[in-house]
Amino acid sequence: MLHYDALVVGGGIAGGEAALNLANTGYKVLLVEKDRSLGGKMILLSKVFPTLDCSACITTPKVSEIARHKNITIFTESEVTAIVKKSKNDFTAQVTKKPRYVRVEDCTACQLCERACPVSVRDEYQSGLIGRKAAFIPFSIANPKAAAIDIENCTLCGACEKVCPTHCIDFTMETEYYELHVRTVVLATGFNLFDPLQIPRYGYGQHKNVITSMQMEREIAPTRPYNTILRPGDGKVPDRIAYVLCTGSRDATVGNPICSQICCMYSIKQAQLLMGALPMADVTIYYINIRSFGKGFEEFYQQAKGMGVNFVKGKIGKITEKENGNLILRYEDINEGVVKEAEHDMVVLSVGVKSNPTVGKMFGRDELKLDPFHFVAQDDLLGSPSKTNIDGVFVAGTASAPMDIPDSILSAGSASSEAISYLIQHQEP
Amino acid sequence: MEVEAGKTAKYLREKQGVAEHVKEELKEFNRIKRAITDTLKEEELTIAQLSEKLQMPKHDVMYYLMSLVKYGIVATGEIDDRDEYYSYKLVK
């Protein structure tokens, strides 16, 4: 049985920060990440608001520090299936580690396997806009930077194995099961993006030039799927781009009446980046309210207005498609109280933040308290916001509520401080 | 059981087989790849032109063509006079 001081569940920016803080204080940490790479959603973003700093430039050094830290053990492609509190500072955890079919320590990331693989499937790291191979490196700044085999789509032809110069591909790998003892737990399981298929009147999935904000994030990232910003429906360089804010947030009809906190600002960020990439393009943001509440956010909003981004206070009723792929937005102009229509080349749905339901399942029935929106409940929101209802289990980042990147890092700092304090108070004799 | 290094795919193939849909999807990708590359042998084409020649929806052409650009089989050519549509050509 393995022993660690702390188990951090989730290797995104919050989990990574919490793990680093604990490890820097001398505690042994196991960081469990479900994906093939650390970095969570942040590592896939183009830039961050309101500074427009390169997201990868912030994430990659931090992720490297986590990966190299002597006090941190990392399990990727792994899931915590159960956590049981045995006594005050003794939790047992069950972890399932899926096989990567590549020995990471031997892989040189030469990509020869990727070139040899005949399979092509939708690339989830490019939000499905292009394909990837079944033997592949998840993305260029992935950590670990090593190939992985997508066994669900692999034809087991062996082409990757034949060309691998270090013979690190190994299809005999099997799922591994671990039982651990840990003294404290930090939950940093992040969030899920709202699925816009739940609002059929917006036409996502049906109208090919209606995309999500995460797809646009990939289109404007340096490691983008296309050579420039293009419509997925026909490859046209768009001239008139619309954003629909509050897609799946502040909307009780889809079961998510709360504000997602980040959509206004990431849409304004993308609008500014689009105006840089496509100087002749018109960008219109349809909003209910702009919530620019954070440090520097209002200035960032005013900057977008100054650059020529068009803000329309309007609620979208329906999006229809013309034969040429253009989109007609039928909306209520809230200021004038009339229904209008506008034509755009491309529509970006600014999708909201939903809770990650996996977190509640790790603990026994009703053991971990969730809030009405299925985020982890903060037992003492104003006094100790990282504490959950289970003594010794702390929550970091968007596992507790929608929040932006700086707040996620602050929350992770709080969770790791609470966890360190807990470890000190409950030291073994 | 000891499996010879470099032949582990064969071991797993014999142990669990390959799902039919995976084989079908590979056939479909190869068919579309061949159709696109054969058509581009003649001239550089836009997505809309390829779609017409292949009788395939534009969004499907876009997805497969862009994947072929990523795999180094197709390259992006010039943009038209109205700065709207790029053409695409085979990598020689």
Per the domain annotation, does B50 fall within a domain? yes
Average pLDDT over residues A280-308: 96
Q: Band the pLDDT of B4: cuts 50, 70, 90.
A: confident
- The one-letter amino acid code at A403 reads M
**Cα A409 → chain centroid:** 14
Distance between CA atoms of A80 and A178, rounded to whole angstroms? 9
Determine the structural domain holding residue B41 and report its residue range. Answer: 17-90
Q: Band the pLDDT of A364: cuts 50, 70, 90.
A: confident
Is the pLDDT confidence value at A74 over 80?
A: yes
Per the domain annotation, does B41 fall within a domain? yes
Q: Band the pLDDT of A190: cuts 50, 70, 90.
A: very high
Number of domains into which chain B is organized: 1
pLDDT reported for residue A158:
96
- Six-digit token pair at A161? 């194995």
**Is the distance from CB of A282 to CB of A243 less than 8 angstroms?**
no
- The one-letter amino acid code at A179 reads E
**How distant is the Cα of B62 from the closest Cα of chain A, in angstroms?**
6
**Is the distance from CB of A194 to CB of A14 less than 8 angstroms?**
no
- Six-digit token pair at A97? 């580690």
Average pLDDT over residues B48-75: 98
pLDDT reported for residue A67:
97
**Is the distance from CB of A253 to CB of A213 less than 8 angstroms?**
no
Contact A154 B11 (CB under 8 A): no
Contact B11/A at CB under 8 A: yes
Please report the DSSP string for A23-60 in residue order: HHTT--EEEE-SSSSSSTTGGG-SEETTTTEEHHHHHH
Is the pLDDT confidence value at A91 over 90?
A: yes
Domain with CATH 3.50.50.60 in chain A: 2-97+175-190+356-425, 194-352
CATH architecture, domain defined by A2-97+175-190+356-425: 3-Layer(bba) Sandwich (3.50)
Please report the DSSP string for A199-212 in residue order: -GGG-BTTBTTEEE
Question: For the domain that residue B80 is a member of, what is the CATH number?
Answer: 1.10.10.10
pLDDT reported for residue B61:
98
Most A-contacting residue of B84, B87, B88, B91 (CB-CB within 10 A), to test interface: B84
Per the domain annotation, does B8 fall within a domain? no
Per the domain annotation, does B2 fall within a domain? no
pLDDT reported for residue A365:
64
Radius of gyration of chain A (CA): 23
Mean of pLDDT over chain A? 96
Of A271, A266, A262, A193, nearest to A229 by C-alpha is A271
Superfamily of domain A194-352: FAD/NAD(P)-binding domain (3.50.50.60)
Average pLDDT over residues A236-265: 96
Contact B47 A234 (CB under 8 A): yes
- Each residue of A379-422: pLDDT tens digit? 899 999 999 999 999 999 999 999 999 999 999 999 999 999 99
- Each residue of A120-159: pLDDT tens digit? 999 999 999 999 999 999 999 999 999 999 999 999 999 9
SS3 category, A422: helix
E strands, A352-422, are 353-355, 393-395
SS3 category, B72: coil
Average pLDDT over residues A266-284: 96
- Six-digit token pair at A283? 């960008």
Is the pLDDT confidence value at A214 over 90?
A: yes
- Each residue of B24-50: pLDDT tens digit? 999 999 999 999 999 999 999 999 999
Per the domain annotation, does B52 fall within a domain? yes
Chain A CA closest to residue B83: A237
pLDDT reported for residue B1:
64
**How distant is the Cα of A251 from the closest Cα of chain B, in angstroms?**
30
Contact A120 B67 (CB under 8 A): yes
pTM as predicted: 0.96
- Cβ of A252: how many Cβ atoms within 10 Å? 8
| Cα angle value A282/A347/A197 (rounded, 5°) | 170
For the question of an ipTM over 0.90, the answer is: yes
pLDDT reported for residue B88:
98
Q: Band the pLDDT of B84: cuts 50, 70, 90.
A: very high
Which residues of chain B have a CB within 8 Å of the CB of A120?
A: 29, 33, 67, 71
Q: Band the pLDDT of A303: cuts 50, 70, 90.
A: very high
List of long-range contacts for A150-156, beta carbons under 8 Å, 24+ apart: A150/A121, A151/A99, A151/A101, A152/B22, A153/A119, A153/A121, A153/B22, A153/B25, A154/A119, A154/B18, A154/B22, A155/A118, A155/A119, A155/B18, A155/B22, A155/B23, A155/B26, A156/B9, A156/B10, A156/B12, A156/B13, A156/B18
Q: Band the pLDDT of A429: cuts 50, 70, 90.
A: low
Contact B6/A at CB under 8 A: yes
**Is the distance from CB of A347 to CB of A242 less than 8 angstroms?**
yes
A:B CB pairs within 8 Å: 109
Cα→Cα distances A142→A11, A63, A128, A171, Å: 12, 9, 17, 22
Residues 319-358 of A with CB under 8 A from B: 325
pLDDT reported for residue A256:
94
Per the domain annotation, does B72 fall within a domain? yes
pLDDT reported for residue A112:
98
Contact B4/A at CB under 8 A: no
| Helix H or strand E encompassing A425 | helix A405-425
**How distant is the Cα of B34 from the closest Cα of chain A, in angstroms?**
13
Pairing of strands A29-32, A72-75: parallel
